[in-house]
């Protein structure tokens, strides 16, 4: 009621968002966020936002963290690592390149641009075979 807002975490697991201290809007303006509830969802108070009217302007806005603040796990794969990757199926056939990723609640989805139609694959272990960061290749189990 005093400018609090629900923050949706795309971290895996979602509580990893609490490890970050520096947040930014897309235009690179820094913001100070204090998480005041983390039980079922992440309720946050943003500095200098003190009313419902002020916080309405932030609804559906994305917040970001610095990439160097994320790079703590050598085995981690981040969305920006996947953009532009060549996707190869289990038969060594190229499906195309990843041009975007989106979260649709149940799972993240990768969108692959092909010559005919786009392919959408859930970003789930059962469909992923191997990610080769240096070669910019994602191997998938997909027919």
Q: What is the CATH number of the domain that holds 119?
A: 2.30.30.240
84 and 106 within one domain: yes
Question: Last residue of a domain, which of 70, 87, 103?
Answer: 70
60 and 41 within one domain: yes
Residues of the chain with pLDDT under 50: none
85 and 66 within one domain: no
61 and 29 within one domain: yes
The DSSP code for 60 is: T
Given this model, what pLDDT does residue 88 score? Answer: 95
pTM reported for the whole predicted model: 0.64
66 and 15 within one domain: yes
Given this model, what pLDDT does residue 121 score? Answer: 94
Q: Is the bond preceding 35 in cis, omega lying within 30 degrees of 0?
A: no
Count of structural domains within the chain: 2
Question: Last residue of a domain, which of 70, 89, 114?
Answer: 70
Beta partners for 132?
Answer: 137
* Six token digits for residue 64: 């970001």
- Residue 92's domain spans which residues? 79-140
* Strand, helix or coil for residue 22: coil
Given this model, what pLDDT does residue 103 score? Answer: 81
The DSSP code for 84 is: T
* Six token digits for residue 9: 């975490």
Extract the runs of DSSP E, i.e. beta strands, from the chain: 4-7, 23-25, 30-31, 33-37, 42-46, 63-64, 86-88, 94-103, 108-113, 119-122, 128-132, 137-140
Given this model, what pLDDT does residue 68 score? Answer: 79
Residues 6 or more apart whose CB falls under 8 angstroms from that of 51 comprise 2, 3
The DSSP code for 91 is: T
Given this model, what pLDDT does residue 74 score? Answer: 67
65 and 89 within one domain: no
90 and 60 within one domain: no
Given this model, what pLDDT does residue 141 score? Answer: 93
């Amino acid at each position: 009621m005093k400018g609090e807002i629900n923050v949706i975490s795309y971290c895996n697991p979602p509580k990893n968002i609490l490890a970050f201290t520096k947040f930014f809007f897309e235009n690179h303006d820094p913001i100070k966020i204090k998480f005041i509830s983390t039980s079922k969802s992440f309720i946050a108070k943003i500095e200098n936002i003190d009313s419902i009217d002020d916080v309405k302007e932030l609804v559906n806005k994305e917040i970001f963290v610095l990439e160097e603040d994320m790079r703590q796990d050598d085995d981690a794969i981040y969305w920006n690592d996947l953009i532009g990757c060549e996707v190869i199926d289990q038969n060594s056939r190229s499906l195309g390149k990843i041009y975007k990723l989106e979260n649709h609640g149940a799972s993240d989805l990768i969108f692959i641009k092909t010559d005919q139609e786009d392919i959408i694959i859930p970003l789930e272990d059962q469909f992923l075979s191997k990610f080769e960061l240096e070669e910019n290749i994602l191997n998938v189990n997909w027919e």
